[in-house]
Amino acid sequence: MNFETLAIHAGQAADAATGATIVPVYQTVTFTQDAIGADRGFVYSRSGNPTRQALETCIAALEGGRFGLAYASGMAAIAGTMQLVHAGDHVVVADDLYGGSYRLFSKILPGYDVRFTYVDATRPEEVAKAITPATRMVWIESPTNPMLRLIDVAACAEIARRHGAWLVVDNTFATPFLQNPLALGAHVVVHSTTKYLGGHSDVIGGAVVVDDEETLQKLRFAQNATGGVPGPWDAWLTLRGAKTLAVRMRQHEANAKQIAEFLRGRDGVAAVHYPGFADHPGHELARRQMRGFGGMVTIELAGGAAAARTLCESTQIFSLGESLGGVESLIGYPWLMSHAAFAPEEKLRKGISEAVVRLSVGLEDAGDLCADLEAALARCR
């Protein structure tokens, strides 16, 4: 089946008990057993729930993977994936990454003797150079957050494979509609389903997809032991959102392209970062490993921090807020919002200056969005 059909039907057969076309919300903690040790596939909702299972099956199918696990948040999914490494292990990380991941990797996990090396993964040779005998994982995002750099997933997968390490790809920005890292050689795919997969900014969630059953069992055991699972209502909302991912992503991308072109060369805009531009450094790589360029646009204001703050606080349709990937457009200030966890010198080294503004382009009329930005930019001069 093709993507659009899988999104609506994978894991979503009619309910066996009632014939309900839509997967029910199984709002229950426990499941009555026929006898001691004789259950019907479910025992306790932390360990498994039919609504959650439907979501896990759907997301795995969309990623082209065999197994999916749903988590209570994107960070729960990231933390759950890190249960694959142990004290003394080493992880190579693409240094242009989400601030929440960096916070976990730099402030929490080193206390458990997990060591991290950060590299410019847009150059696969830097990933290879950072590998040590203790390396058990390579962690990347592509496109990266917020600078929209592209990382060669297949090249990183080959490096990880040669050294017996997992390649983990945070695929939140690209979504399964535009990119499938498992098909490029990755071992684990991570999502914040809060973003594009849920798509409506009304539910927090995360997911992990793998192809290997042994890896699945390790992750599932750790998830059950630590408990970072979504409730059935959250799983149901995310599943409902996933049904329309294909049509939403087409419009997100169409709007983002129009806005990126509108902003390029505009007075007060020093740079526009969008992989869809032919002169973007990662454009050709994006064309090879993705099926589109996504709905995120990052800009730099010529007026520096003052202009960036003014823009963020002057839009009427773009809402100033954390998160991304919803039907509504959001504007964010990475310096103090999504990437506040990084030290100033680290942000600057990655190109995240106080002049950078991140746009999550929603599904509103593109002309209205351009007019909103034009009016806000006028206040920055």
Question: Looking at the structure, do residues 125 and 235 belong to the same domain, yes or no?
Answer: yes
Question: Looking at the structure, do residues 272 and 332 belong to the same domain, yes or no?
Answer: yes
- The whole-angstrom distance between residue 241's C-alpha and the CA centroid of its chain comes to 15
Question: Looking at the structure, do residues 265 and 130 belong to the same domain, yes or no?
Answer: no
Whether residue 98 lies in the annotated active site: yes
Q: List the one residue out of 287, 220, 252 whose CA is nearest residue 68.
A: 220
Question: Looking at the structure, do residues 304 and 318 belong to the same domain, yes or no?
Answer: yes
Active-site choice (89, 95, 152, 170): 170
- Specify which residues 117 forms β-bridges with: 92
Last residue of a domain, one of 220, 242, 264: 242
Domain total of the chain:
2
* Peptide bond just before 146 cis, omega within 30 deg: yes
User: How far apart are alpha carbons 121 and 295 in whole angstroms?
Assistant: 22
Q: List the one residue out of 145, 114, 113, 117 whose CA is nearest residue 130.
A: 117
Residue 14, CA atoms < 13 Å, CB-side half-sphere: 5
Q: What is the DSSP letter of 23?
A: P
Question: Looking at the structure, do residues 33 and 52 belong to the same domain, yes or no?
Answer: yes
Question: Looking at the structure, do residues 198 and 252 belong to the same domain, yes or no?
Answer: no
Whether residue 162 lies in the annotated active site: no
Question: Looking at the structure, do residues 230 and 294 belong to the same domain, yes or no?
Answer: no
- The whole-angstrom distance between residue 255's C-alpha and the CA centroid of its chain comes to 20
Last residue of a domain, one of 242, 275, 292: 242
Question: Looking at the structure, do residues 182 and 266 belong to the same domain, yes or no?
Answer: no
Q: What is the pTM of this model?
A: 0.96
Question: Looking at the structure, do residues 145 and 192 belong to the same domain, yes or no?
Answer: yes
- The whole-angstrom distance between residue 250's C-alpha and the CA centroid of its chain comes to 17
* Tokens matching residue 68: 């999916």
Cβ–Cβ under 8 Å, residues 369 and 311: no
Q: List the one residue out of 326, 323, 318 whose CA is nearest residue 338.
A: 323
For residue 348, CA distances in Å to 51, 188, 281 come to 44, 30, 19
Active-site choice (136, 149, 195, 309): 195
* Tokens matching residue 283: 């454009």
Range of the domain at 355: 246-378
Q: What was the pLDDT predicted at 215?
A: 97
Active-site choice (15, 39, 46, 120): 46
Q: For each of the chain's 381 residues, which pLDDT tens digit applies? A: 999 999 999 999 999 989 999 999 999 999 999 999 899 999 999 999 999 999 999 999 999 999 999 999 999 999 999 999 999 999 999 999 999 999 999 999 999 999 999 999 999 999 999 999 999 999 999 999 999 999 999 999 999 999 999 999 999 999 999 999 999 999 999 999 999 999 999 999 999 999 999 999 999 999 999 999 999 999 999 999 999 999 999 999 999 999 999 999 899 999 999 999 999 999 999 999 999 999 999 999 999 999 999 999 999 999 999 999 999 999 999 999 999 999 999 999 999 999 999 999 999 999 999 999 999 999 998
Reduced to 3 states (helix: H, G, I; strand: E, B; else coil), residue 371 is helix
Q: What was the pLDDT predicted at 265?
A: 87
Question: Looking at the structure, do residues 168 and 213 belong to the same domain, yes or no?
Answer: yes
For residue 317, CA distances in Å to 7, 126, 153, 335, 356 come to 29, 41, 35, 22, 19
Question: Looking at the structure, do residues 225 and 352 belong to the same domain, yes or no?
Answer: no
Q: Containing H/E element for 190?
A: strand 188-191
Active-site choice (26, 52, 89, 98): 98
Whether residue 368 lies in the annotated active site: no
Whether residue 66 lies in the annotated active site: no
- For residue 148, the domain's CATH number is 3.40.640.10
Last residue of a domain, one of 203, 223, 242: 242
Question: Looking at the structure, do residues 369 and 250 belong to the same domain, yes or no?
Answer: yes
**Which residues, other chains included, contact 43 with Cβ-Cβ below 8 Å and sequence gap of 6+?**
30, 31, 33
